[in-house]
Amino acid sequence: MTRIFSGVKPTGHLTLGNYLGAVRRWAGTDQHRADALFCVVDLHALTVEHDPARVRRLSRQAATLLLAAGIDPALCTVFVQSHVDEHARLSYVMECTATDGELRRMIQYKEKSARARAAGESVRLSLLTYPALMAADILAYGTDEVPVGDDQTQHVELTRDLAVRFNQRYGHTFVVPKATRPEVAARVMDLQEPTSKMGKSHAATAGIVYLLDEPEVVRKKIMRAVTDSGREVEYDREEKPGVANLLDVLAACEGGNPEELAGVYESYGALKKDTAEAVVELLRPVRERHAELAADPGYVDQVLKEGAERARGMARPTVDAAYRAIGLLPAG
């Protein structure tokens, strides 16, 4: 059976980008067709300035939202990364497989480290080594497919390179995984700045739709989205990134094709209005289910506990095999 692994970082509240790019597929198809693991990757949230209490809160919230989105712990494994030691154990082995140059070439590292330096903040070493941990997350489970948004493709490519290199040097140990992306909305853009990704940790929130935003807030954000000059509704990501983004979002909500949808609209206003309503309806059941689940934190904790036990059992043999293959003496 196909093994799927993916994760979400508790660095902020989950966004429409997370949902359309990743979580919706996890719940909709992935968990039904494969042996899937979905992980709140909390160790990854420590790579940038963080508040411990907030990370803790966001981790529980992210797990609750995964369940609210329809991820069913009877079908797949839902857990928190730091509950399973194998991730950190294998991460070190990945650091011994990757090169300094490879990690410095990662776009996300270049962008985030430049931003931190510009703000006068220090850059944590873990921001550089983060893709080694991500490779460990994936490889520890013999993963075949990694359903992610476009921004993660480079990290999954690196993971493939590391798996192949390790296997060649030390003998076949890892499955070589591949990234899978959604057909539409693989990169949802910020509504106020449609040339940048809608990112959950951005400081300016007017262009970000959060999964838990009230319907009125969602409507306001979408109605105020930056559109482009001209009046024609056309699907042109280069020339009209704002309009193209709305068309992508609407197409993702309704299951249509953004180019065809462009022909249906005569004004930006009408497109915004329909997009706003489509997003409100898409998120409504998730928000409602989240409220129910949040009232019962004991249930979520129990799901995470059982998930971690299951995940540990799956990762342990692979990580032990990697330790032996690379030359570490078995503990006996």
Task: Determine phi and psi for 35, rounding to 5 degrees.
Answer: -90, 105
Which residue number, 20 or 27, has a Cβ lying nearer to ligand AMP?
20
The answer to whether 240 is a known catalytic residue is: no
Q: Is 90 in the site for ligand TRP (CB under 6 A)?
A: no
Q: Is 137 in the site for ligand TRP (CB under 6 A)?
A: yes
Q: Is 44 in the site for ligand TRP (CB under 6 A)?
A: yes
Q: Please state whether beta strands 178-180 and 3-8 pair in parallel, antiparallel, or not at all (unpaired).
A: unpaired
Contact between 151 and 187 (Cβ < 8 Å): yes
Q: Is 47 in the site for ligand TRP (CB under 6 A)?
A: no
Size of the site for ligand AMP (CB under 6 A): 17
CB of residue 108 vs ligand TRP: minimum separation in angstroms? 7
The answer to whether 220 is a known catalytic residue is: no
Site for ligand TRP in 8-37 (CB under 6 A): 9
What residues contact 228, with CB distance under 8 A and at least 6 apart?
A: 239, 240, 241, 242, 243
The option from ligand AMP, ligand TRP, none interacting with 242 (CB < 5 to 8 A, set by class) reads none
| Three-state secondary structure call for residue 6 | strand
The answer to whether 273 is a known catalytic residue is: no
The option from ligand AMP, ligand TRP, none interacting with 197 (CB < 5 to 8 A, set by class) reads ligand AMP
User: Which residue has its beta carbon closest to ligand AMP?
Assistant: 21
Strands of 178-180's sheet in order across? 77-80, 35-40, 3-8, 145-147, 178-180
CB of residue 53 vs ligand TRP: minimum separation in angstroms? 21
Torsion angle of alpha carbons 270, 247, 217, 115, nearest 10°?
Answer: -140
Q: Quote the tokens at residue 249.
A: 């979002």
Which residue number, 153 or 236, has a Cβ lying nearer to ligand TRP?
153
152 alpha carbon, distance to own chain's centre: 8
CB of residue 267 vs ligand AMP: minimum separation in angstroms? 26
Binding mask 177-196 for ligand AMP (x = CB under 6 A): ---------xxx--------
> Which among 55, 50, 58, 42 is positioned nearest to 124, based on CA atoms?
50
Contact between 226 and 192 (Cβ < 8 Å): yes
> Which among 318, 238, 303 is positioned nearest to 65, based on CA atoms?
303
Q: What distance in Å separates the CA atoms of residue 146 and residue 117, rounded to the nearest whole number?
A: 31
Task: Please identify which residue in 48, 69, 148, 303 interacts with ligand TRP, judged by CB under 6 A.
Answer: 148
Binding mask 143-162 for ligand AMP (x = CB under 6 A): -----xx-xx----------
**Is the alpha carbon torsion for 251, 252, 253, 255 positive or negative?**
positive
Task: Please identify which residue in 4, 9, 191, 283 interacts with ligand AMP, judged by CB under 6 A.
Answer: 9
Task: Please identify which residue in 4, 8, 276, 308 interacts with ligand AMP, judged by CB under 6 A.
Answer: 8
Q: How far apart are the first and last CA of the chain?
A: 32
User: Residue 5: which H helix or E strand, with range?
Assistant: strand 3-8
Q: Is 17 in the site for ligand AMP (CB under 6 A)?
A: yes
The angle at the Cα of 293, spanning 44 to 72, to the nearest 5 degrees, equals 70
Which residue number, 149 or 258, has a Cβ lying nearer to ligand AMP?
149
Residues taking part in catalysis: 112, 197, 200
The residue ranges that bind ligand AMP (CB under 6 A) are 8-9, 17-18, 20-22, 148-149, 151-152, 186-188, 197-198, 200
The residue ranges that bind ligand TRP (CB under 6 A) are 5-7, 9, 41, 44, 134, 137-138, 146, 148, 152, 155
